[in-house]
Amino acid sequence: SQIPVITIDGPTASGKGTVAHRVADKLGFHYLDSGALYRLTALSALRRGTDLADEHALAKLAEHLQCSFQGGDIILSQENVSDAIRAEEVGNTASRIATFPAVRHALVGLQLGFRKAPGLVADGRDMGSVIFPHAPLKVFLTASVAARAGRRYKQLIDKGFSANMEDLLKDLQARDDRDTNRAIAPLVPAEGAQVLDTSEMNADEAVDQVLQWYAAIA
Ligand code: C5P
């Protein structure tokens, strides 16, 4: 029998990371943060000074990523880069290099490898549309730009960073545009995906809804 996969896709700052993580915990499933793979490739490229327009060189980097996920930590060539990959510059670079077909292709095998018993929750942009098209449950988690900017603002302030609401809104919009309008694996709800708008919902409510959908088909 097939190992079950729940895909959770959606735009940046939609809360899908938190929701996917908690759903995985509740079900005792593995968790794939596919965005982290694009971020790791970006970080690698930035550190090596790889030409960010050189699709072939970037794909090679992606293909040979020496990374592992240990507990909550993300390790790149034996260094804990959990915080480093969350930097704004790394996120922006990730979203640029994610437009290259060769880079996306290079990361496919690595992503498929996360499907292990008893199951997987996979979070990203194209988990349901491209990587796991036959997943029994696909969720498209979204929220208004205002709600997402508000959440990000609060996160930053809570961490002691300064934040500017207007900049955050502009940034989210730019990232949305790039992810939605790219030629390959654009951010769109996968065929058969359940759409969950969390603008007026907290994380626990979103988790409960996903678990209910899963219980109905499991
Ligand atoms: O989700 P996260 O912000 O960590 O992803 C970083 C970038 O990687 C996104 O802006 C997106 O462009 C890209 N990405 C992607 N496909 C995925 C996951 C992330 O293109 N499955």
Residue 103, pLDDT above cutoff 90: yes
Strands 5-9 and 137-142: parallel
Look at the pTM and tell me if it is higher than 0.90: yes
Q: Give the binding-site residues of ligand 1, using a 6 Å CB cut-off.
A: 12, 34-35, 38-39, 91, 94-95, 98, 124-126, 175, 179
Task: Express each pLDDT in 21-63 by its tens digit.
Answer: 999 999 999 999 999 999 999 999 999 999 999 999 999 999 9
Interface confidence (ipTM) of the complex: 0.98
Give residue 95 CA to ligand 1 midpoint distance, Å: 6
Question: Among the ranges 153-162, 187-196, 204-213, which has the highest mean pLDDT value?
Answer: 204-213
Task: Express each pLDDT in 146-157 by its tens digit.
Answer: 999 999 899 889
**Residue with CA nearest ligand 1 atom 1:** 35
The structural domains of the chain, ordered by start, are 1-15+125-218 (3.40.50.300), 30-117 (3.40.50.300)
